[in-house]
Structure 1
Amino acid sequence: MRQAADADFRTRLQDLLPKLVLAPSFAATLLFVYGFIIFTVVLSFTGSKMLPLYTFVGFENYRKLWALEHWHTALINIAIFASCYIVICTAVGLMLAIFLDQKIRGEGVLRPIYLYPMALSFIVTGTAWKWFLDPGIGLEKTMHLWGWESFSFTWIKDSNMAIYTIVIAAVWQTSGFVMAMFLAGLRGIDNEILKAAQIDGATSFQLYRRIVIPLLRPAFLSAFVILSHLAIKSYDLVIALTGGGPGRATELPATFMYSYTFTRNQMGIGASSAVMMLMAIAAIMIPYLYSELKEKA
């Protein structure tokens, strides 16, 4: 009887141990992620300025937010940045994946080289590209030293072109990660399907257009969701590269939220902008999760 009781106790302990180990992380996630999300939503309906106030003002902060030209500028910039970033990064990642899928020599060396930028923080990436694009010390200065005196590349100082420098840096950072996603998808395609198409006389272009790319639909969807999420919450890359300037040329919702919350002491408006960003991410994530769960069911 005693041996049976000891065995039952050990079984219960083995079942309980993983829960005890995960409990602190689970509690911290509830508090510091979901707890602060709820706190931000509450603040967006209050008259908070420098410090949190719990005077309920309804949707007044949202009305003020959408009346601000500053907010409209941030929305236009995020539309330009996100569309260019997602399209270019997806295209570059797909081309790199197709290139590596040809079983070329040196794939083991090229793959980590392409993935390396993702190991860097956006602060490091932004700082490096700021130096590289600065006309006084970067690419333009180097070209002048090499004798091309007429060469000019001042996008980072141009209010009309500065947003595209953010796109360049972001694509450089994450295109290798997208390549890895597409490469995994390519390696998962049944070779028998490709061989059958080749026997039927399909060219390489037809093979990719009619068979390979349609089969990569899950990878395309995952890439879109991840890149959209990164674009919406972009803050550190913008701050390190352009600081939101020149003027407000590279102001995004994330930098708008920070400036109104901590610089302009308009915590209620800053919280409402954060809620709008959360809603945008939810509008992307919820359909994606629903489609994934529906397919598994």
Structure 2
Amino acid sequence: MLKAGWRQRVGRTMSLLVLSPTLLVLSVFVYGFALWSLIISLTGSKITPRYDFVGLEQYVALWSMERWHVAVGNLFIFAGLFVTLSVGFGLLLAIFLDQKIRAENAIRSIYLYPMAISFIVTGTAWKWILNPELGIEKLVRDLGWQGFSFDWIVNPNMAVYTLVIAAIWQSSGFAMAIFLAGLRGVDSEILKAARIDGAGAWLTYRAIIIPILRPVFLTVLVVLTYQSVRSFDLVISLTGGGPGFSSDLPATFMYQFAFGRNRMALSAASAMMIFMTIAAVMVPYIYSELRREARNER
């Protein structure tokens, strides 16, 4: 008994030693800088940090700016469409590949390939494709449809949707891979029992398989939501936030005001608003899922 207890203590100590560098880095570079951003957002800092506390003045200024309202509205449009459609396309592709079709490996590789490309490359490629003078519009007109128009990238009312198109193209394969792994992990005995009971394919997926995949949905939603909030490089390479600031997102707004307009405190305030928004959405969802899993384990 004494030897077993000693081994457990050594094992716990070794675990802490292995994890301590990661915990230290997270504490400093994530939580530490988040706290520092909060402090800066309560000051009048411009080019360099200044610790003259001005209360919520930067937040009041932030929410009085039209550009910030446009960026927040664009984030809801972009994130909502990007996450929903990527999940939908990814799930459909995974169900299609789960039918044990021929050339499954080749098809899966084709859909996964865009995920290996950086958002900078994706944005640049789609900028060429969507350019009215080089891409889809020119191709269709050269084929004879002279009245065809697809100028979303230069249309202030539609530019944000070009971000959605490029992001879905890149990330649907990731969602497909995660869902396919989840589908392959479903117990075959459950599916056999459903077939014996006369359940069709649609009812089996809707009532049995998709509920089993709830943890997979959580993983995909968290990753894609994170990607939608940090989509700075895609915006810069595809639309540059334009025309004007019509396709700005909070990430590009924060960058422009921190390094382009030398308003560090206002930029920090925007960063804190992004952080609080994501926390308000994700924390309750993750908490409810963890509680559900705990109840199921009892």
Corresponding residue number in structure 2 for 1:249? 246
Counterparts of 1:197 and 1:15, CA distance in 2? 44
Task: Tell me the secondary structure at the aligned position of residue 93 of structure 1.
Answer: helix
In the alignment of these two chains, the number of paired residues is: 287
Residue 101 of structure 1: how far off its partner (Å)? 0.2
The residue correspondences of 1:75-114 to structure 2 (distance < 5 A) are: 75-114=72-111
Corresponding residue number in structure 2 for 1:161? 158
Choose which of 128, 132, 138 in structure 2 pairs with 1:141: 138
Question: Is 1:201 aligned to 2:198, yes or no?
Answer: yes
Q: Structure 1, residues 219-257: CA drift from partner, whole Å, max 9, x if none?
A: 222222222221122211111100011122211111111
Counterparts of 2:28 and 2:91, CA distance in 1? 39
Q: Structure 1, residues 172-231: CA drift from partner, whole Å, max 9, x if none?
A: 111111111111111121222222222222222222222222222222222222222211
Counterparts of 1:154 and 1:140, CA distance in 2? 7
Amino acid at match of 2:95: I
Choose which of 175, 178, 186 in structure 1 pairs with 2:175: 178
Percent identity between the two aligned chains: 56
Task: Tell me the secondary structure at the aligned position of residue 33 of structure 2.
Answer: helix
Amino acid at match of 1:105: R
Counterparts of 2:26 and 2:128, CA distance in 1? 37
Amino acid at match of 2:249: L
Task: Tell me the secondary structure at the aligned position of residue 250 of structure 1.
Answer: coil
Amino acid at match of 2:167: A
Question: Is 1:258 aligned to 2:258, yes or no?
Answer: no
Choose which of 103, 117, 125 in structure 1 pairs with 2:114: 117
Counterparts of 2:195 and 2:94, CA distance in 1? 20
The root-mean-square deviation of aligned C-alpha atoms, in Å, is 2.2
Contact kept, 8 Å, 2:218 with 2:286, in 1: the verdict is: no
Corresponding residue number in structure 1 for 2:3? none
Give the TM-score normalised by the residue count of structure 2. 0.88
Amino acid at match of 2:101: I
Contact kept, 8 Å, 1:166 with 1:237, in 2: the verdict is: yes
Corresponding residue number in structure 1 for 2:51? 54
Counterparts of 1:224 and 1:24, CA distance in 2? 28
Residue 61 of structure 1: how far off its partner (Å)? 0.7
Counterparts of 2:126 and 2:116, CA distance in 1? 16
Amino acid at match of 1:191: S
Choose which of 27, 33, 46 in structure 2 pairs with 1:36: 33
Structure 2's unaligned 5+ residue stretches are 1-5
Structure 1's unaligned 5+ residue stretches are 1-7
Give the TM-score normalised by the residue count of structure 1. 0.89
- CA separation of 1:201 and 1:17: change in aligned 2, threshold 3 A: closer
Corresponding residue number in structure 2 for 1:270? 267
